[in-house]
Amino acid sequence: MLDILFKRRSVRRYTNTSIDQDKIDRILKAGLLAPSSKSKYPWEFILCNKPELNQKLSECKPHGASFLKHAPVSIVITGDESLSDVWIEDCSIAAGFMLLQAEKEDIGACWIQVRERPHNDSISAEEYIKNLLEIPKSQRILAIIALGNKEGTKDGREESFLKKDKIHINKF
């Protein structure tokens, strides 16, 4: 597992080739296998594989999402806050599992934060996406994961990257 963690990097540049459906299925399965508080599993995943839809999703916020227009696939991660008071944490774990599985599949992936981000001065990124994808009011949107075959390579992390001074034993 550590080899995947050291290798994983956020990837925002993708080739124009499609992703094998079996790889997408395994990435989604990884999300479904994530643990959740009290086994509530408050998440829903919306797979977006139409270029025109990812183009519109790339406009969900002013900064940090434009590369999505070049991703062949994205996954919008939503959670039902009436089902779990820790939907954010639960959905974040599911997203993390999907990011790790994407790396295992050698698929480039990047988290795009949606919750608490503006679309413009009038509406939130969340409302923009809810309207675009016809997401029910009961669902909250946490993030989008962009997926694509990697264009180029990024070096993984080295052991020296680890900030071991962040680890405390028995007291801060």
Q: Look at residue 97 in the predicted model and tell me its pLDDT.
A: 99
Q: Look at residue 10 in the predicted model and tell me its pLDDT.
A: 97
H/E segment holding residue 142: strand 139-149
CA-angle at 166, arms to 161 and 169, nearest 5°:
130
Choices 1.10.10.10, 3.40.109.10, 3.30.70.520, 3.40.640.10: CATH for 12-152: 3.40.109.10
Q: Look at residue 49 in the predicted model and tell me its pLDDT.
A: 98
Determine the Cα–Cα distance for residues 55 and 109; give it in Å rounded to an integer: 16
Report pTM: 0.96
Query: How confident is the chain (172 residues) per 10-residue block, as mean pLDDT?
Result: 96 96 99 98 99 98 98 99 98 99 98 98 98 97 99 92 96 97
Q: Which stretches of 31-106 are assigned E, i.e. beta strand?
A: 43-48, 73-80
Q: Look at residue 93 in the predicted model and tell me its pLDDT.
A: 99
Q: Look at residue 31 in the predicted model and tell me its pLDDT.
A: 99
Q: Look at residue 4 in the predicted model and tell me its pLDDT.
A: 96
Cα dihedral across residues 126, 127, 128, 129: positive or negative: positive
Which residues in 46-59 are b (16+ Cβ under 10 Å) and which e?
bebbeeebbebbbb
The pair of three-digit structure tokens given for residue 67, joined into one six-digit string: 């590369």
